[in-house]
Amino acid sequence: MKTLKTILSLMMVALMLVSIVACNANPAEQSSDDPAGDTEKETLVIITGTQGGAYYIMASAVANLLEQYSTKYTASVVSSSAVTVESILKLQSHEAAIGFAVSGQVYGAYTGNPDETTAQMVTEQCDDLRLLAGSHSGEIHLIVKANSGIETIADLEGKSISISNTGTGANIEMCRMLRVAGLEGKYKGVNSSMQESIDALKDSAVDVAQVTSGWPAPVVQDAFASIDVDFFHMPEEIIDATIAEAPYLMKTVIPAGTYPNQDEDYITLSIPNAIYIHAGLSDEVVTELCEIIFGHHDELVTTYAVFSSYTPENTIAASAAIPLHPAVEAYFKAQGWM
């Protein structure tokens, strides 16, 4: 009998232990308010440019805020050397959710009338593109070593000039400007990223480094701080003639003192850029992205000053070329911006 009681007691203890383990096996089910419910976030693919440029910094900032504030979405930042073309194609095919791109090339692809260079890679109309936020300008920085003797258009003949990577807006507009200047076939074009362009100038592998980015561009700051360089001043009549051929381009002044040892204003060509999405992106996702970009605008500006131009007003203005996603329009109306 004593043995039977002992066995029964042990069984009771075992049952209690099983009950305790069962109660604690899934604590998330005990409280629906537990924020650590381990819900897997949906990953949004962002197509952006190479490291060191405005696109990459901006995409990383958006991804960081999405990770910080969104309970449903995270982002994968995909760097591309042909960012505008890849953004267009990946958005049209819905392989990416967000893309950074040059507005002129996006407009051409959207309308089915792409620039000749873009048309070599974007062979069909891409009418599924929609505007998320806009816009900022990427300024073409042309940099030469001091005392290089490169001062005029004629001095560029026969020289090695970095022209960015094929398919980028920077490449398209840089080649356009050189053609307008009468230099087509008279220089050696070198495809390179922004950082590669500056590195090549340092190593004397190119005569003219080209960086197209919002200012101040970190890689340009590095060049002015680390080696003795000057800007190459493209004549204003060439800039004006280039704009006449592609009216979406602009002329911009980078003020003296923007970069170390920059003693005078730098007048150059500006290329408008914006952030695009595709029409099939859900309203929920788009609304969340609007909240990140416009609701946390001050934080983005603190991270990178280029974001200061990504305002509701500038976005609405940019939508004259590419329409807003309906959820962006709804968000703006709810905020009283439209």
Q: Specify whether the CB–CB gap between 224 and 257 falls below 8 A.
A: no
Q: Where are the alpha helices (DSSP H) in the chain?
A: 2-24, 54-69, 83-92, 103-111, 116-119, 169-180, 194-202, 218-226, 236-245, 283-290, 297-303, 312-318, 326-334
Each residue's pLDDT, cut to its tens digit, for the chain (338 residues) gives 444 444 444 444 444 433 433 444 443 333 334 444 457 899 999 999 888 788 999 999 999 999 999 999 999 999 998 888 999 999 999 999 999 998 888 988 998 887 665 767 888 999 999 999 988 888 999 999 998 999 999 999 999 999 998 877 788 899 999 999 999 999 999 999 889 999 999 999 999 999 998 888 889 999 999 999 999 999 999 999 998 888 778 888 999 999 998 999 999 998 888 999 999 999 999 999 999 999 999 999 999 888 998 999 989 988 888 899 999 999 999 999 99
Do residues 262 and 228 make contact, with C-beta atoms less than 8 angstroms apart? no
What six digits make up the tokens of 19?
Answer: 């009950």
Rounded Cα gap, residues 130 and 277, in angstroms: 5
